[in-house]
Amino acid sequence: MWHTLLMVCALAAPALAYVTDARAAGFQTPGIVPRASPEQFELAFWNSIKDSTHASDYEAYLKAYPKGRFAALAQARLQRLRGASQEAKPAAPPAPSPPRANAAPVKPPSSVPASAGRNHALPPDGTAPEIRDCPGCPVLVVLPADTFTMGNNASDPSEKPAHPVHLGAAFAIGKFEVTVQQWTACADAGGCPKIAQPANTSPAAPMRDLSWDDAQQYLKWLTALSGKPYRLPTEAEWEYAARGGAATPYWWGPKMVTGKANCKDCGPPWSADRPANAGSFAANPYGLYDTSGSVWEWVADCWHNNFKDAPADGRAWDDPHCRVRVIRGGSWREGAAYMVTSTRFKYDAGVRQAQNGFRVARNLR
């Protein structure tokens, strides 16, 4: 979630509280720091969480920067949050029930319009077919082989250069992000770790506070349950699916429109405390929900600072020793600038963060 913040740090003067924190941490020149430097990444990370009321955010910072410039501040705020939590003694969050054998998939509200996209490889009505491999499996949208332009030459340097990508085979991708209900089914079966969500979280909410490594456990369990080869989407597949056939900055057009995404500038329903339930906002033309906002989504690829030399065939750009993976799509805590479809950033594969989740994908053959 930090990539657009990096651009903001480079282009605009920091807020007073940010400057104060930077000076307190010992930075010689608060505000603009060398682009793509370790200092810039740490400053952007801290600036994005410094007003948070979630202990997990400070834990994530301390895991990423155990000797960082803001470590003392993070420790102090973490202790204060933990102390307040102990004093309040909140009730334990209710455990959502696992899906019943005949449970229906999570459905968006009836007011959300059906997919109305157009693609030369889709059926004449423009809708993408859907499949479901087992009663408890996520609903998948089947997308055809196609060629599209990935990246954005007018945005953050990490999104450059815009380049053609040819997806040579059809694939299936989750209609929704993996929900709390779906994760709980895996945890109850012993396939996934039990990860507490905030009190009163709906079973239909996107599952979050997940690391890339956590997602791999769910995919392994789902593969065994369904007999199908589940995986994370590649970064190219994710962007192709999220664009919904559009070449504009947002999947819905060239400018921000309220009601299209779950972010703090995107209109209701929005809450600063948690993302809306899966499918609460409009689907893109391919019938996918919450590709902009909601939670950041892990993809298969290793992080690279830009798309120079990126694969042109849509495969994952991987490294056997990679520990820093790509996240896409922004989250409910960010503003409209993060909702641009080409938005991307990175996170350590082993770190859980309250804004990170994922959606599934699989090959069709």
**328 C-beta neighbours (distance < 10 Å), count:** 23
- Does 112 have pLDDT greater than 90? no
Which residues have a Cβ under 8 Å from the Cβ of 218 and sit 6 or more positions away?
A: 178, 183, 186, 191, 192, 360
Count of all residues that appear for the chain in the document: 365
| Residue 174 contacts residue 66 (beta carbons within 8 Å) | no
- Does 342 have pLDDT greater than 60? yes
In angstroms, the CA 78 to CA 40 distance is 23
**Which of 46-55, 111-120, 211-220 reaches the highest mean pLDDT?**
211-220
Q: How many CA atoms lie within 13 A of 223 on its CB side?
A: 14
- Does 183 have pLDDT greater than 70? yes
- Does 52 have pLDDT greater than 90? no
Q: Report in angstroms the alpha-carbon separations of 43 from 40, 54, 178, 347.
A: 5, 18, 31, 15
| CA angle 182–183–187, rounded 5-degree value | 125
Mean pLDDT of the chain: 81
Share of the chain above pLDDT 70, in %: 76
- Does 4 have pLDDT greater than 70? no
> Between these two residues, 143 and 109, which has the higher pLDDT value?
143
In angstroms, the CA 312 to CA 164 distance is 7
The model's pLDDT over 229-267, given as tens digits with 9 standing for 90+, comes to 999 999 999 999 999 999 999 999 999 999 899 999 898
Which among 51, 4, 46, 3 is positioned nearest to 22, based on CA atoms? 46
Burial class (CB in 10 A: 0-12, 13-18, 19+), 129: middle
CA dihedral 67, 72, 73, 75 (to 10 degrees): 90
- Does 175 have pLDDT greater than 50? yes
Which among 241, 232, 249, 314 is positioned nearest to 283, based on CA atoms? 241
Tokens representing 253 are: 């057009």
Share of the chain above pLDDT 90, in %: 61
List, in order of start, the domains of the chain with CATH numbers. Answer: 3-88 (no CATH), 130-363 (3.90.1580.10)
